[in-house]
Structure 1
Amino acid sequence: MTTPGHDLLSLGWNESLAADLPGGTVPARVARVDRGVADVIAADGHHNAQYAARLRRATVDDPVALPCVGDWAALTLLPEGRYELDAILPRRTAFVRGGVRRVSRGGLSGDSQGQVLAANVDVVFVAEPALHATDFADLGRIERLLALAWESGGRPVVLITKSDLVGEHLDGLLADVAAAAPGVDLHAVSSISGEGVEVVRGHLEGSRTAVILGASGAGKSTLVNALAGEEVMETQQVRAGDGRGRHTTVHRELIPLAAGGLVIDTPGIRRVGLYEMSQGVDMVFADIEELAEGCRFDDCVHESEPGCAVLSAVESGELPERRLESWYKLQREAAWMARRTDARLRSEQTRKWKIIHKSMRGKGRP
């Protein structure tokens, strides 16, 4: 995937990362992960690095701490000449989804926890396909991905892919999506005709890293190939009759581009749960937050309160009812996730204290 001449600076290496690198280790960027082994790019090329035992132990109860695509890793050169992935350097940004089922050591299904889809990402491309004139964009999916994008620390950008398929209906589609993505750059893109590809490339100047997220058939891999100027990801033809692409990508992979910048291609996402939301939902629904400033009560939840400016906006047609329903849904999910996370942290803390007390009793202490 890479070409000769790639150096660490072109992959995003900087002085801040260098300050966190443990002594005696070599820096590398994670390009792909697969069951305890990572494909990494170091100054001397690609390597398959197995996880060190201490890293496996440290991450057994915390999937979010596992190495992921985009991470910067510290490698240790072993006597036999191979590299071992010793540690993950602090992440600048991380795109984390919730709702991932963790399997316990006994083989039984455990708690749902977070999963990092990409790390150290500057731009999050949310790809939604324009299939044909009678289809509507999945605005709820766009809003959900944008919430996670804002929360990640990266800058979200919405891409309406396969724009050549909608013809004169494109302007209306873009208007609908723009209303669901306030404050976010929005571009129509056709990897076939080339429309918008250079605009997208402009978001990847220098050593910026982007991740492309979206459902199967959104044209993510085709866009990666268009950005790379060559076929670096396998693609398939759209299905006859519905214009949808088949699911092709089965893993996340970091692709350095010859013209500069890096892009992470991802498999189609079927379910995207929120995870430890702070301001992500509020950023997506900035229009509702602005309207809420006119509510009579500061604690208005926009359901049946008198003097609710948000409900008034729905009644007048200023705010689509669909948008408010989506806000309700994501707010409830974010609140539920926060409660569950608090309960899990309390449970873990209790377990740790039980272990400490048991150890103290074993030493004859009261």
Structure 2
Amino acid sequence: MNINLTKLGWNETLFTKTDPAIIARVITVQRNSYRISDGEMEYLAHVSGKFLNAANGAIDFPTVGDWVAVEKLKLEKKAVIQHVLPRKSQLVRQAAGDKTEAQLVAANLDTIFIVSSLNDDLNIRRIERYIVAVYESGASPVIVLTKKDAYEEEQLTALIAQVETVAIGVPIIVVSNITGEGIQDLNTYLKPAETVALVGSSGVGKSTLVNVLSERNVQKTKDVRLDDSKGRHTTTHRELFVLESGALLIDTPGMRELQLWDGEAAVDTAFEDVEDFASACFFSDCQHDTEPGCRVQEALASGELSQDRFDSYQKLLRELAFEKRKQDQKAQLEEKNKWKQRAKNMKATYKQRGYK
């Protein structure tokens, strides 16, 4: 057993055919540079030329939490990343902008804290999206609601009840970074050698929570604007921290919007309540509109299912179907361009050799 790597969450069952001496974990990603650690020393790393040539897209490149095989230059404290080892989980979203591309947020996660403040920034529909993304990642979701100290018990109960309507089977923990209330409840998920990531919008208290859980100031923080409760960007990169408990904690930059990359299977889990009603419809291909025997329409009429919840469910399914079509079109175009380039290369080779 490699004790140094164990501190970073490695165990012998992960990569039985890989020499531990060449394994490291990515602890910081900043644009095209990486900081990695083998549990004994940190290195500034970059990917090899061979890696660059073999990569098909952004999702192939290392992200925070990844295990990588590297060539170490110990005297220079530098390393070359040869390849990324298989991921047991990965949190992915659609990259911002019009470009159809997956963006990796973090990898090899056990639990993901979906952090939201209880102020005006609380957005139930956004929480739904995060739940779908987390289930799709392969990790387990936990909702963490911050700023508990700013509300009376009656207000808290009402706000938590709102979140419970979309967090079917997902633990909800309410905390105060100021008084420390609820922080102890998070320790249940901060187990030695397990990795937890924090995701959420700017200003919800992720960086402050990292400092509280680390029991030291490892992240800069800023106050939320009082006029609209909007957060200010503090964390500008993704970083992994080792806590005193032996748990590993990853902080990520705030995301105002979360466009899903994939998640059709995860929607079934995140919207288990809607799926249960849908499965009870008389027709197996029911569109939940005007068909007779539609259990979904009955639930909407009786109030068992809210219209907002059902509308959100349908919207996410449409969005995922649209993204899937775009991804398929992109894949077809890339394949076509690849064969075009290959034909050009062959033509150039024949010309160099004197063939007509």
Q: Specify if TM > 0.5.
A: yes
Q: Indicate if the aligned counterparts of 1:17 and 1:89 stay in contact, CA closer than 8 A.
A: no
Q: Which residue of 1 aligns with 2:107?
A: 119
Query: Following TM superposition, by how much is the alpha carbon of 1:96 offset from its aligned partner in structure 2, in angstroms?
Result: 0.2
Q: Which residue of 1 aligns with 2:10?
A: 13
Q: Which residue of 1 aligns with 2:54?
A: 58
- Alignment RMSD (CA, Å): 2.4
Offset from partner CA, 1:304-351 (integer Å, 9 cap, x none): 323211121111111111101111110001111122222222223333
Distance 2:36 2:243 in 1: 16
Offset from partner CA, 1:131-188 (integer Å, 9 cap, x none): 1xxx483111000111100000000111111112121211111111011110111111
Q: Which residue of 1 aligns with 2:72?
A: 77
Distance 2:75 2:54 in 1: 25
Distance 1:78 1:45 in 2: 11
Q: Which residue of 2 aligns with 1:37?
A: 33
SS in 2 for 1:39: strand
Indicate how the Cα distance of structure 1 residues 20 and 299 shifts in structure 2: closer, same or farther if over 3 A, else same.
Answer: farther
What are the within-5 Å matches in structure 2 for residues 1-366 of structure 1? 7-21=4-18, 26-59=22-55, 61-78=56-73, 81=76, 82-101=78-97, 111-131=99-119, 135=120, 137-167=122-152, 168-242=154-228, 244-357=230-343
Whichever residue aligns with residue 15 of structure 2, its letter is A
SS in 1 for 2:296: helix
Q: Could you state the TM-score of these two structures normalised by the residue count of structure 2?
A: 0.90
Query: Following TM superposition, by how much is the alpha carbon of 1:303 offset from its aligned partner in structure 2, in angstroms?
Result: 2.9
Q: Indicate if the aligned counterparts of 2:70 and 2:81 stay in contact, CA closer than 8 A.
A: yes
Whichever residue aligns with residue 118 of structure 1, its letter is A
Query: Following TM superposition, by how much is the alpha carbon of 1:244 offset from its aligned partner in structure 2, in angstroms?
Result: 4.9
Structure 1 segments, 4+ long, off by >6 Å, are: none
Whichever residue aligns with residue 108 of structure 2, its letter is N
Distance 1:111 1:174 in 2: 36
Indicate how the Cα distance of structure 1 residues 56 and 357 shifts in structure 2: closer, same or farther if over 3 A, else same.
Answer: closer
Q: Indicate if the aligned counterparts of 2:121 and 2:230 stay in contact, CA closer than 8 A.
A: no
Q: Indicate if the aligned counterparts of 2:207 and 2:235 stay in contact, CA closer than 8 A.
A: yes
Indicate how the Cα distance of structure 1 residues 340 and 20 shifts in structure 2: closer, same or farther if over 3 A, else same.
Answer: farther
Q: Which residue of 2 aligns with 1:105?
A: none
Indicate how the Cα distance of structure 1 residues 314 and 35 shifts in structure 2: closer, same or farther if over 3 A, else same.
Answer: same
Distance 2:297 2:321 in 1: 21
Distance 1:355 1:204 in 2: 50
Q: Could you state the TM-score of these two structures normalised by the residue count of structure 1?
A: 0.88
Identical aligned residues as a percent: 38
Distance 1:164 1:309 in 2: 41
Distance 1:304 1:55 in 2: 54
Distance 1:219 1:143 in 2: 19
Distance 1:248 1:350 in 2: 42
Q: Indicate if the aligned counterparts of 1:96 and 1:115 stay in contact, CA closer than 8 A.
A: yes
Indicate how the Cα distance of structure 1 residues 51 and 356 shifts in structure 2: closer, same or farther if over 3 A, else same.
Answer: closer
Listed as ranges, the gaps of 5+ residues in structure 2 are none
Offset from partner CA, 1:59-92 (integer Å, 9 cap, x none): 3x41111111111111103497432122111111
Moved more, 120-129 or 30-39: 30-39
Indicate how the Cα distance of structure 1 residues 240 and 356 shifts in structure 2: closer, same or farther if over 3 A, else same.
Answer: closer
Residues matched between the structures, number: 348
Listed as ranges, the gaps of 5+ residues in structure 1 are 1-5, 102-109
